Amino acid sequence: MKLTGAEIILECLLREGVEVMYGYPGGAILPTYDAMTKYPQIRHVLVRHEQGAAHMADGYARATGKVGVAIATSGPGATNLVTGIATAMMDSSPIVCITGQVPTAAIGTDAFQETDVTGVTLPVTKHNYLVYDVEDLAYTIREAFHIARTGRPGPVLIDIPKDVQNAVTEFVYPEEEPVLPGYRPPQEATEEQVRAALELIERAERPVILAGHGVIMSGASREVLEYAEKTQTPIALTLLGKGGVPETHPLSLGMMGMHGTGHANLAIQHADLLLAFGMRFDDRVTGNLKTYAPHAKKIHIDIDPSEIHKNVRADVPIVGDLRAVLRQLNPHVKPQEHREWWAQIRDWMEDADERDIVHWDAGERLFAAHVIRDMWQATGGNAVIVTDVGQHQMWEAQYYPHERPHTLITSGGLGTMGFGLPAAIGASMGLKSSNVWAIVGDGGFQMTMTELGTAAQERVPVKICIINNGYLGMVRQWQEFFYEERYNATPMHNPDFVKLADAYGIPARRVTRRQDVIPTIEWAAGIDDGPVLIDFVVEKHDIVYPMVPAGADLHNMIRRPIEGK
Amino acid sequence: MQTKQTLVALVENKPGVLNRVASLFRRRNFNIDSLTVGRTESPERSRMTIVVDAGADQVAKHLYKLVNVIQVENVSTVPNVSRDLALIKVHVDADTRGQVIQLCDIFRAHIVDTSSRAMIVEVTGDEEKINSMVEMLRPLGILEMVRTGVVAMARGDDVLAPSDYEARRPASNGHRASVL
């Protein structure tokens, strides 16, 4: 079958199971856009800015576990993708980006809309390609999807010059799995490693599991729970680990780290054994490395060898797929109880509970924490939540317990403001669900709110909840704590978000009182034929507690004062 | 002083691979003492010799994350042969020409070019040998010098080679010479 390069691209996408791609046309990618008319099986979603396309592909990938696809033209189209690609890279999200490039003969001449896109994206992709020959195209696309989804997943970019899209060749799809000489994702632990881990486990009196994104990526929820229940080991979660194990489980301590629960952080600091399951000891999780978990031995299981010993020295490093490794380990683990350890942890939990704003009577005030807790209640804890970045993101992490994997989608590593709305659109489309809620701040929302147009045009039934405090709240919080309340460049003059939504034909309401929160959420939940927006106008000067200042010791948290004491 | 370690990396002979490796070193803040690239016994592969000041393990692990890197070995941990080559243009006159010839004899170096006021000396050996030759020539006046950087290979009959991957790969597209 003779096909053009453009047709080969779409044939290959079909064979990879791609059902939707997010993109924006332009000169260098036009042959592929023209070929799309022959492939109606693949839905193309026209975004309003290419950054949105990359985030939508990312949201789609995180919600479904499948590879998300974004497509853009050369030059500015491609460079607009970069923030989204870097976001996917930091959070190990499998996406494939296809970019048009100027014709091969023009490469290197500063041609119109020419950018060295493989050069620009080199440090923020797992791998990338510039395809010079249409003969290489099918194999390259096959390889790109393979690399994106296997091992530690990540973004892969394929840059395809216009003449390669136009060139005609015999299409032969490489059916067999690509063989890459230098690419061997590791799988299992050695017997020696299992034995060494068991030795530490048997001696431990104060163990803590650190459950990260890897629990979700490797599908190891059941294995982690099995281990934890057998050994009565408390589980602290990273932000991206939320949903990996049910957070309402009695062994769960909630989130760890900078805005983690007091009891999770104290447990880590007092632990004599840390079991790091698919996490990478990010600085937001450890605080000061010199004083981090000083009494603890560390068992570190991760699929990426370069994460081992990177930030924290592991006593037993195991490189492998978490689920496979736990399946090796679990049968040999002996039951444990750790009663004294749990008594201590329960003391810390009581103190945290007493300080918790969730028990406060807010009076006339509307606190973001209350909005999110009510949302949890009104959605039965079953929604898929996509957040933006900032205070609302941390409140979500604290007040919306997740029970299942892939139900919290958030930009953890890169902390990309503007991620929320487009990622939620991708997640909602991927899941074909109207139970996807974007919780966004007023700052981050305005970075990508152009995608309201996409949501309206495609009738994506996504629920948009703006936690609106009229500030870049997290920055304002740092200014309050560390810059003597000089609130420079953080107050925001916002548009009327309800009117804005109205301009797009999107139903919207504003909430300013606690008693209206649940009814309004229920109203929004009933709309399933398109997007809906709620503007929650919350306390301006609220703070995310607890907080471990950047670089401080993990146990030195700023705690919420107990009101009236 | 930290001990230098020598890594040998077999990489796919494809465009942009050197760029990927160099970019990795810069973004991970790895300090590289020297890096050389060259052809190997197979047209499909190139070979890099990388001398690092410290942290060879972490460098090796990150190299492995690059899809085009096939195999990495720390040859400092095994008996090895390592060689550097230098071309040194040294000032000579009637009095010193004899000295240079004598030094070349001692260091088993070659004079590869000579003119009335300068000679080019070619010397091969491990780094220390070349360093000492340079020190001996310096008083005479070194006009210009270039060194290739170290290349290295483990001794014995073990070879640094990947599996038979070439056999399983589709026919290579040799239309475009590699631009390392």
Domain ranges of chain A: 2-170, 191-349, 368-537
We find that the CATH architecture of domain A191-349 is 3-Layer(aba) Sandwich (3.40)
What pLDDT score was predicted for residue A563?
64
* Sheet arrangement for strand A156-161: A43-46, A20-23, A68-72, A95-101, A156-161, A127-130
How many angstroms separate the CA atoms of A509 and A305, rounded?
49
CB within 8 Å: A305 and B16? no
Question: DSSP letters along B2-37, please?
Answer: PPPEEEEEEEE--TTHHHHHHHHHHHTT--EEEEEE
How many angstroms separate the CA atoms of B13 and B177, rounded?
9
Residue B80 phi/psi, 5° resolution?
-150, 165
CB within 8 Å: A305 and B61? yes
Let me know: does B49 contact B35? Beta carbons within 8 Å. Answer: yes
Residue B161's pLDDT band, with cuts at 50, 70 and 90, is low
CA torsion angle for B62, B66, B70, B71 (degrees, to 10)? -10
Q: Which fold has domain B82-151?
A: Alpha-Beta Plaits (3.30.70)
HSE-up (13 A, CA, CB side) for residue A25 = 11
Interface test with B, best of A89, A107, A122 (most B CBs within 10 A): A122
Mean pLDDT confidence for B52-60: 90
Catalytic choice (A11, A50, A223, A451): A50
Residue A135's closest chain B neighbor by CA? B173
**Residue A122 contacts B, CB cutoff 8 Å:** yes
Beta bridge partners of B52: B5, B32
Beta strand segments in B4-163, E: 5-12, 32-39, 45-52, 69-74, 80-91, 110-114, 118-125, 142-147, 151-154
pLDDT at B168 over 60: no
* Residue from A359, A371, A368 nearest A521 by CA: A371
Chain A residue numbers with beta carbons less than 8 Å from the beta carbon of B23 are: 122-123
* Residue from A525, A375, A508 nearest A452 by CA: A508
Which tokens go with A253? 């301590």
For residues A125-136, b (16+ Cβ closer than 10 Å) or e, as one string?
bbbbbbbbbbbb
Phi-psi map region of B80: left, alpha, beta (phi>0 left; psi -120 to 50 alpha)? beta
Chain A residue numbers with beta carbons less than 8 Å from the beta carbon of B173 are: 133, 135-136
How many angstroms separate the CA atoms of A271 and A338, rounded?
12
Question: DSSP letters along A16-51, please?
Answer: TT--EEEE---GGGHHHHHHHTT-TTSEEEE-SSHH
Residues of chain A with pLDDT under 50: 565
What pLDDT score was predicted for residue A448?
98
Residue B4 distance to chain A (closest CA, Å): 20
Let me know: does A81 contact A72? Beta carbons within 8 Å. Answer: yes
Chain B residue numbers with beta carbons less than 8 Å from the beta carbon of A136 are: 173
- Cβ atoms within 10 Å, residue A449: 25
CB within 8 Å: A179 and B168? yes
How many angstroms separate the CA atoms of A158 and A181, rounded?
20
Let me know: does B173 contact A135? Beta carbons within 8 Å. Answer: yes
Question: One-letter amino acid identity for A277?
Answer: F
Question: Tokens 């030059």 appear where?
Answer: A75
Q: Fold identical between B5-79+155-168 and B82-151? A: yes
* Domain B5-79+155-168 CATH (choose: 3.30.70.260, 3.40.50.720, 3.40.50.300, 3.40.190.10): 3.30.70.260
CB within 8 Å: B61 and A306? yes
How many angstroms separate the CA atoms of B17 and B14, rounded?
6
Beta strand segments in A102-229, E: 127-130, 156-161, 168-170, 207-211
Interface of A with B in 280-319 (CB under 8 A): 304-306, 308-310
Let me know: does A128 contact A159? Beta carbons within 8 Å. Answer: yes
Question: DSSP letters along A513-562, please?
Answer: SGGGHHHHHHHHHT--SS-EEEEEE--TT---SSB--TTS-TT-PBPPPP
* Residue from A61, A68, A92 nearest A414 by CA: A92
Question: DSSP letters along A436-455, please?
Answer: EEEEEEHHHHHHHGGGHHHH
Which residues of B touch chain A, with CB atoms under 8 Å apart?
11-12, 15-16, 19-20, 23, 27, 57-58, 61-62, 64-71, 162-163, 165, 168-170, 173, 175-176
HSE-up (13 A, CA, CB side) for residue A236 = 30
Let me know: does A341 contact A208? Beta carbons within 8 Å. Answer: no
* Residue from A40, A37, A38, A53 nearest A85 by CA: A53
How many angstroms separate the CA atoms of A548 and A291, rounded?
13
Burial class (CB in 10 A: 0-12, 13-18, 19+), A455: buried
* Domain A368-537 CATH (choose: 3.40.50.970, 1.10.579.10, 2.40.40.20, 3.40.190.170): 3.40.50.970
Question: Tokens 């939990």 appear where?
Answer: A349
Q: Which fold has domain A2-170?
A: Rossmann fold (3.40.50)
Let me know: does A548 contact A258? Beta carbons within 8 Å. Answer: yes
Phi-psi map region of A256: left, alpha, beta (phi>0 left; psi -120 to 50 alpha)? beta
Residue B90 distance to chain A (closest CA, Å): 40
CA distances from A387 to A136, A148, A411, B29 (A): 39, 23, 8, 32
Mean pLDDT confidence for B124-130: 94
Phi-psi map region of A456: left, alpha, beta (phi>0 left; psi -120 to 50 alpha)? alpha
Question: Tokens 């023009």 appear where?
Answer: A106
Which tokens go with A86? 């870097």
Strand duo A235-237 + A207-211: pairing: parallel
CB within 8 Å: A309 and B27? no
Query: Could you tell me which residues come within 8 angstroms of residue B166 by beta carbon, excluding any fewer than 6 positions away?
Result: B42, B44
How many angstroms separate the CA atoms of B8 and A138, rounded?
32
Question: One-letter amino acid identity for A109?
Answer: T
Query: Could you tell me which residues come within 8 angstroms of residue A390 by beta carbon, excluding any fewer than 6 positions away?
Result: A417, A441, A443, A444, A472, A473, A474
Query: Could you tell me which residues come within 8 angstroms of residue B58 by beta carbon, excluding any fewer than 6 positions away?
Result: A306, A309, A310, B28, B30
How many angstroms separate the CA atoms of A39 and A279, rounded?
40
* Residue from A487, A396, A503 nearest A439 by CA: A396
Catalytic choice (A126, A162, A242, A298): A162
Domain range list for chain B: 5-79+155-168, 82-151
